[in-house]
């Protein structure tokens, strides 16, 4: 629409909102992309301030599209089962056809709400979001429950393909470290709430919040354990190769 500055500001602001939201498996999160598209369109077309467009349009739309994302994921499972049946029959055309058809509900879960929002306007989007929260709470609760179940399914699928039995000790160690550090953070939160000074100092220094172990910290611990395991395996291979060379009949220096 010609206003690159507004698009970058709104898109960057929404990206900061979802930057720390880590999803796993089939988990759904707010659709910041669609929210940024709508907020930018309304801001440029109507002259609305970027900050107002973010709070009044982008955030409600992004949160509302979580429900359509869950519906889109459920719809694609139908075509996934048809692909499984086609694989058993070696029906390659059926595999390709159902694979392409599965993209239709996935695309409509984004395209249809965005089209309706652009057609009806920002007031209609906010009114529908409020109606869903007040008058049709059972629908929202059902979709929220389904969305909360998807991460567990994703974790189960992921663990099925990982060598969990072989590296069960690392899995247990990860859960233990996370639980212990959560206890530490809980104690720090209690002290901060009692005194008030610790939390204020941490917030003033860098906006830190004593609420739990961040995902980056867990990733660093996992990376360190993976590096240690890789180096140990590499050292074993070097020792094995050296032993095989000495047993092959070659004359070593100390034998001369």
pLDDT tens, position by position, 110-147: 888 888 877 876 566 566 656 766 776 776 676 556 65
Q: What is the pLDDT of residue 206?
A: 46
**What DSSP string runs through 168-226?**
HHHHHHHHHHHHHHHHHHHHHHHHHHHHSHHHHHHHHHH----SS--HHHHHHHHHHHH
Q: What is the pLDDT of residue 19?
A: 60
Q: What is the pLDDT of residue 87?
A: 92
Which of 56, 55, 60, 64 has the alpha carbon at shortest distance from 139? 64
Q: What is the pLDDT of residue 162?
A: 72
Question: Whole-angstrom Cα distance, residue 108 to residue 68?
Answer: 9
Q: Which segments of the chain have a pLDDT < 50?
A: 205-208, 210, 255-256
Question: Whole-angstrom Cα distance, residue 193 to residue 42?
Answer: 42
Tens digits of residue pLDDT in 47-80: 767 776 776 677 777 777 878 888 888 888 888 8
Q: Rounded to two decimals, what is the model's pTM?
A: 0.45
List all residues 6 or more positions away from 76 whose beta carbon is below 8 Å from its beta carbon: 102, 105, 106
Going from N- to C-terminal start, the domains of the chain cover 1-161
Q: What is the pLDDT of residue 168?
A: 80
Q: What is the pLDDT of residue 96?
A: 92
């Amino acid at each position: 629409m010609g206003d690159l500055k507004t698009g970058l500001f709104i898109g960057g602001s929404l990206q900061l909102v979802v930057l720390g939201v880590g999803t796993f498996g089939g988990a759904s999160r707010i659709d910041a992309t669609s929210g940024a598209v709508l907020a930018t369109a309304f801001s440029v077309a109507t002259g609305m301030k970027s900050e107002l467009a973010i709070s009044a349009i982008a955030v409600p739309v992004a949160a509302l599209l979580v429900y359509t994302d869950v519906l889109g994921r459920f719809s694609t499972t139908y075509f996934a089962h048809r692909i499984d049946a086609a694989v058993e029959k070696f029906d390659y055309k059926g595999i390709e056809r159902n694979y392409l058809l599965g993209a239709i509900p996935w695309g409509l879960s984004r395209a249809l709400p965005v089209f309706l929002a652009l057609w009806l306007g920002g007031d209609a989007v906010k009114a529908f979001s409020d109606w869903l929260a007040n008058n049709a709470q059972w629908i929202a609760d059902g979709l929220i429950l389904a969305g909360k179940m998807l991460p567990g399914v994703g974790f189960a699928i992921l663990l099925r393909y990982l060598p969990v039995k072989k590296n069960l000790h690392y899995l247990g160690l990860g859960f233990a470290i996370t639980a212990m550090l959560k206890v530490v953070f809980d104690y720090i939160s209690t002290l901060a709430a009692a005194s008030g000074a610790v939390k204020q100092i941490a917030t003033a220094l860098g906006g830190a919040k004593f609420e739990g172990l961040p995902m980056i910290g867990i990733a660093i611990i996992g990376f360190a354990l993976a590096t240690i395991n890789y180096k140990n395996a590499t050292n074993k291979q070097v020792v094995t190769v050296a032993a095989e060379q000495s047993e092959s009949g070659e004359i070593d220096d100390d034998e001369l």
